[in-house]
Amino acid sequence: SILIVDFGSQVTQLIARRVREAGVYSEIAPFNSAADAFARMQPKGVILSGGPSSVMWQDSPRAPQAIFDAGVPVLGICYGQQTMMQQLGGQVEGGESGEFGRAFITVDKDCALFDGLWQPGERHQVWMSHGDKVTQLADGFEVVATSEGAPYAVVANEAKRFYAMQFHPEVVHTPDGGRLIANFARHVCGLTGDWTMAEFRATKIAEIRAQVGPGRVICGLSGGVDSAVAAVLIHEAIGDQLTCVFVDHGLMRLNEAEQVVTLFREHYGINLVHVNAEAQFLEGLAGLTDPEKKRKFIGGAFIELFEAEARKVGGADFLAQGTLYPDVIESVSFTGGPSVTIKSHHNVGGLPERMNMQLVEPLRELFKDEVRALGRELGLPDIFVGRHPFPGPGLAIRIPGEVTKERCDILRKADAIYLEEIRNAGLYDAIWQAFAVLLPVRTVGVMGDLRTYDSVCALRAVTSTDGMTADIYPFDAAFLSRVATRIINEVKGINRVVYDYTSKPPGTIEWE
């Protein structure tokens, strides 16, 4: 295994991800408990992460000395490089100007990290983000790659198998970074690279059992991938100690609620409480047109119903959530400054404190695509695992203006046609999210010599890797006109279809 010592970088989890991609098991330990983790794990290698501190500050974090004395390979990244140099006798100075963003390094010498990848004389793009820099090497080190701003871009002590780099190999903007980390894990540390999702599953199951003991766990299902994968994994670990609660707000897509109930109850045999609250939600939404008011109402009602069900289940000790790593980062503000609320996201974030329950979050270190891989590993059907993201407030935020049962039904039909055509054209997996929006605008049309005066439907499809930024999906005209024709012919209440051509930013993915 590999131990990753965390100095507080925002991208430490990406290092873990790259190590997983290399087929190697790793654990992250904060720098102040790294000595214990090192003694317990006896890892075959150690990676020191970046971090916001400066080694020049008093009391800035350090790597445990034992790591350098144990004879295992060590890779220092950014702050990790600087503390490593300083701890081993080199020098670091504060740069007047830092180096941030894209940079090019020149390879000077062969190095075990570069084997099969980089040759002396080549130039390669990397991603830098540092203010301080190394100015004098520790004994036994030599420079193996340089950049303009960082004469010590990569340094190595091959005899001790210590390596350190100023840039960030873990981010995608260092195109060969994943392979550098794989070289460290496999080639330098001698790990075989046969770790898989199957082992992640087994490890997590053991962890869940250890955490929960004989306790009872309650888990909210949303119909999305994350909560589904979390629930199935936890069920595998503790069986009937788990109860799932599906608060069905009636704002799901066509047949989606039935699919959730059938899959969990019948296929997996999971205890599932299905709260059919459509009437209650529609009643509360009546008259609401402001997007934030709609979101707040739905979020609040959801929590109330969930709590009421949890009380009925009686004395659950743990609350399970399908929190992913990007949710963890987004919920922590590193800037310290006030950030503007664009939309009040619907999640059950406030629940654990209110309900005084401990959290079980087995997906906390994974990224979306890894959760999908785990879902497949757990045998969740592809249609479920590969599903586009769907917002907590459901169709309510795809019906600008007032939400009524009638408008939900119209939208469900149009949306189903659109998605069916996308699947038939083989485009579903190339798209991050595709959905129809029912506008509160009526326009005049003519059908069969008769005048119509009906609603406009907007189609949206975007590509994205994380939902933070997005670009429109460039359908061809024939595809769009096929969908438009079908929707107008088959869905009563819609007589015009338009395509949304807005990227994010400046738009958002959802309309409200």
**Shortest distance, position 280 Cβ to ligand XMP, whole Å:** 19
> Nearest CA to 64 among 30, 28, 42, 34?
34
403 is in an annotated binding site: no
**Given candidates 44, 343, 364, 482, which one binds ligand XMP under the rule CB under 6 A?**
343
Find the helix or strand (DSSP H, E) in which 463 lies. Answer: strand 450-463
**Given candidates 88, 228, 458, 509, which one binds ligand XMP under the rule CB under 6 A?**
509
222 is in an annotated binding site: yes
In whole angstroms, what is the distance from residue 38 CA to residue 165 CA? Answer: 22
228 is in an annotated binding site: yes
481 is in an annotated binding site: no
Q: Which residue among the candidates 99, 124, 170, 365 is catalytic per the annotation? A: 170
482-497: burial string, b at 16+ Cβ within 10 Å, e else = bbbebbbeebebbbbb
Q: Is 265 in the site for ligand XMP (CB under 6 A)?
A: no
- In the complex with ligand XMP, the residue whose CB is nearer, 31 or 511, is 511
Span from 100-108, 308-316, 329-337, 384-392 in contact with ligand XMP (CB under 6 A): 384-392
**Given candidates 391, 398, 438, 461, which one binds ligand XMP under the rule CB under 6 A?**
391
Q: Is 386 in the site for ligand XMP (CB under 6 A)?
A: no
**Shortest distance, position 219 Cβ to ligand XMP, whole Å:** 16
Hey, which residues does 239 pair with through a beta bridge? none
Amino acid identity of residue 56, one-letter, is: M
* SS3 category, 368: helix
Token output for 279: 């009437």
Q: Is 296 in the site for ligand XMP (CB under 6 A)?
A: no
CB 324 within 8 A of CB 224: no
Active site residue 158: no
By CB under 6 A, what part of segment 415-444 binds ligand XMP? 433
57-85: burial string, b at 16+ Cβ within 10 Å, e else = eeebbbbbeebbeeebbbbbbbbbbbbbb
In whole angstroms, what is the distance from residue 55 CA to residue 38 CA? Answer: 22
By CB under 6 A, what part of segment 37-96 binds ligand XMP? none
45 is in an annotated binding site: no
Active site residue 78: yes
Span from 19-27, 64-72, 377-385, 503-511 in contact with ligand XMP (CB under 6 A): 503-511
Q: Is 331 in the site for ligand XMP (CB under 6 A)?
A: no
Active site residue 388: no
Q: Is 346 in the site for ligand XMP (CB under 6 A)?
A: yes
Phi-psi region of 93 (alpha: psi -120 to 50; beta: other; left: phi over 0): beta
In whole angstroms, what is the distance from residue 264 CA to residue 247 CA? Answer: 14
Catalytic residues: 78, 168, 170
Annotated binding site for ATP: 222-228
Residue ranges binding ligand XMP (CB under 6 A):
343, 345-347, 389, 391-393, 433, 467, 504, 508-510
